Amino acid sequence: MKIGTIEIDRPVILAPMEDVTDRAFRQLCKRHGADIVYTEFISAEALRRGVEKSLRKLKTDEVERPFAIQIFGSSIESMVDAAVIAEGYCPDYLDINFGCPTKKVAGKGAGAALLREPEKMTAISEAVVKAVSIPVTVKTRIGWDLESINILDILPRLEDVGIQALALHGRTRSEMFKGRANREWIRQVKEQARIPVIANGDIWSAEDALAMFAETGADGVMIGRGSIGNPFIFEAAKELLKTGKPMPPPDFRARIDVAIEHLKLSVQFKGEKYGVLEMRRHYSTYLKGLPMVSRVRNKLVREDGWEQVIDILLAYKQECEGYVMEGKILEGTEYLNDHSDKLLLNYQANNI
Ligand SMILES: Cc1cc2nc3c(=O)[nH]c(=O)nc-3n(C[C@H](O)[C@H](O)[C@H](O)COP(=O)(O)O)c2cc1C
C-alpha cells in the first residue's frame, strides 16, 4: 500500500479512537507491531479557535511514524484552517473523518452527516487537499443508512479531488456499532477503487485480520476496539500474514506486563495524576478473565501513585502464578478479548 512516500505491504493499522488513541496507546501499539497509527479525531473548529485541549491532541513523537492526524468539521473554512495547523505538526498524512455517527459530531453536520451531502464532502476534501502539501486521506462508512448506501458514488468523487486513500468501516451511520461490518461492500469498493482501500470493522483477532484481507482484497486493515487491552493483536496479525502461523495468545504475565508498560507511557505523557487516572478504565480489559479480578481492580482504581499501582499489578502477577499451580489458570488457553464492550458502551452513552 502506498500513501505519499509511505509504502507498506498489507499494513495493519491502529484506528483513530477518541480518548483511547492518545500518545501512550499509539506508542504501545507501535511497539507491538502497528504499522501506522492515527490520532483520535480533533475538532477543526476547536483548532481554529486555539483550544488548548485540542492543540494538545496534535502532539506526537518520531517513534510513532508513520502516523496520521485526523480532523473533523462541517465547514470548508474551518477544515482548511485546521488542516494547515495540523500540517505544522508534521504528520505523514492527514485524515478527514466522514464517519463519526455520534450526535455531538454527526448531529452538527460533520463526520457521517456528510455522507448525506456528497457535494459538500467533496468540496471539503478538495479544499483540504489544496491547502496542504502532505497526502490527505478519508475515513468513512458505507452510507447514512441501509436505504442510502452511496459509497460507490462517493469514491470516484474523492479520488477526483486528490484523496489518496480511503479507510472504510463496513457499516452505515444508522447501524452505529450494531450487527457485523459488511465486508462485501468493502470488497466492491476495493474492486472499483483507484486509490488504496483500508478495511475496517470487527477485527477481533489475527485470524479476523487475515479474513478481512482475503474477503475484501483491501490494501490494508484497520483495527479499533480489538486493540483495546490487546495491543498484541498487531504483531499476531502480522505474524499470521507473514508465516501463516498463529502466535500463542498472550498469557497473564504478558498482559500484566503490557498494562504496566501502558501505565508508564501514560504517566510519561500526562504526568502522575492524569496518567494514573486515565489508565483506570483500561485495567478491566487487560485483566479480563483472570481469577479474583474485581478485588484487584478495586485496589487499582483507588491508588493515586503510579509506583504503587505497579506494585499492585506485580503482586497480582505473583498471585496468578499460584493460580496456575492450583489449576485456576490454564496456561495457553486463557484469553482476554471481551470485545471491549465497556469502553464502547461508555462511548455510545456519552455521545449518542
Ligand atoms: C471509543 C471509540 C472511539 C472512536 N473514535 C473515533 C475517532 O476519533 N475517529 C474515527 O474516525 N473513528 C472513531 N471510532 C471508530 C473506529 O475508528 C472504528 O472505525 C470502529 O470502531 C470500527 O472498527 P472496530 O470494529 O475495529 O472497532 C471510535 C470508536 C470507538 C469504539
pLDDT digits (tens, 9 = 90+) for 265-320: 999 999 999 999 999 989 989 998 888 899 999 999 999 999 999 999 999 999 99
Give the integer Cα–Cα distance in Å for 99 and 178.
15
Confidence of residue 183 (pLDDT cuts 50, 70, 90): very high
Instruction: For residue 171, give the C-alpha cell.
Output: 457499516
Whether ligand 1 lies within 6 angstroms of the CB of 64 is answered as no
User: Residues 321-332: pLDDT tens digits?
Assistant: 998 888 887 766
Angle subtended at Cα 134 by Cα 132 and Cα 136, rounded to the nearest 5 degrees = 85
171 touches ligand 1 (CB under 6 Å): no
How far apart, in whole angstroms, are the C-alpha atoms of residue 244 and residue 221? 17
- If you measure from the C-alpha of residue 287 to the centroid of ligand 1, how many angstroms do you get, rounded to a whole number? 22
Distance from residue 17's CA to the centre of ligand 1 (Å): 5
CA distance 199 to 46: 29
Q: Which of 12, 13, 18, 339 to mutate to test the pocket of ligand 1 (most atoms within 8 A of CB)?
A: 18
Integer Cα distance of 22 and 29 in angstroms: 11
Collapsing DSSP to helix, strand or coil, 280 comes out as helix
- On whether the CB atoms of residues 347 and 302 are closer than 8 A, the answer is no
In the chain, count H helices and then E strands.
15, 10
Q: How many whole angstroms from its chain centre is CA 206? A: 16
User: Does the Cβ of 71 fall within 6 Å of ligand 1?
Assistant: no
Amino acid at 256: I
CB-based contacts of 69, cutoff 8 Å, min separation 6: 38, 39, 42, 58, 60, 86, 89, 91, 94, 95
The string of DSSP letters for 100-157 reads --SHHHHTTT-GGGGGG-HHHHHHHHHHHHHH-SS-EEEEEEEESSGGGB-HHHHHHH
Predicted local confidence at residue 346, as pLDDT: 53
3-state secondary structure of 250: coil
Beta bridge partners of residue 26, listed in sequence order:
none
- Please check whether residue 105 is in contact with residue 111, taking contact to mean a CB–CB distance below 8 angstroms: yes
Of all protein residues, the one whose alpha carbon is nearest to atom 7 of ligand 1 is 17
Residues tagged in the binding site annotation for FMN: 70, 139, 169, 224-225
Q: Which of 7-11, 77-81, 167-171, 177-181 has the lowest mean pLDDT?
A: 177-181
What pLDDT does 328 receive?
A: 82
Mean pLDDT of 192-198: 98
Higher pLDDT, 326 or 68: 68
Atom 4 (ligand 1) nearest CA: 17
Whether the Cβ atoms of residue 168 and residue 140 lie closer than 8 Å to each other: yes
Average pLDDT across the chain, whole number: 94
**Per-residue confidence (pLDDT) for residue 345, from 0 to 100:** 52
- pLDDT above 90 covers a percentage of the chain that reads 88
Cα–Cα dist 300/288, whole Å:
14
Residue percentage of the chain with pLDDT more than 70: 94
How confident is the model over 98-117, as a mean pLDDT?
A: 96
What value does the mean pLDDT take over residues 76-97? 98
Q: For 126-169, what is each residue's pLDDT tens digit?
A: 999 999 999 999 999 999 999 999 999 999 999 999 999 999 99
**100 catalytic, yes or no?**
yes
Residue 60 CA: distances (Å) to CA of 2, 126, 211, 238: 22, 26, 32, 24
Structural domains of the chain, with CATH: 2-248 (3.20.20.70), 252-334 (1.10.1200.80)
Confidence of residue 343 (pLDDT cuts 50, 70, 90): low
What pLDDT is stored for residue 74 in this prediction? 98
Q: Which helix H or strand E contains 7, and what residues bound it? A: strand 6-7
The pLDDT value given to residue 126 = 98
Mutate to test the pocket of ligand 1, among 12, 169, 178 (most ligand atoms within 8 A of CB): 169
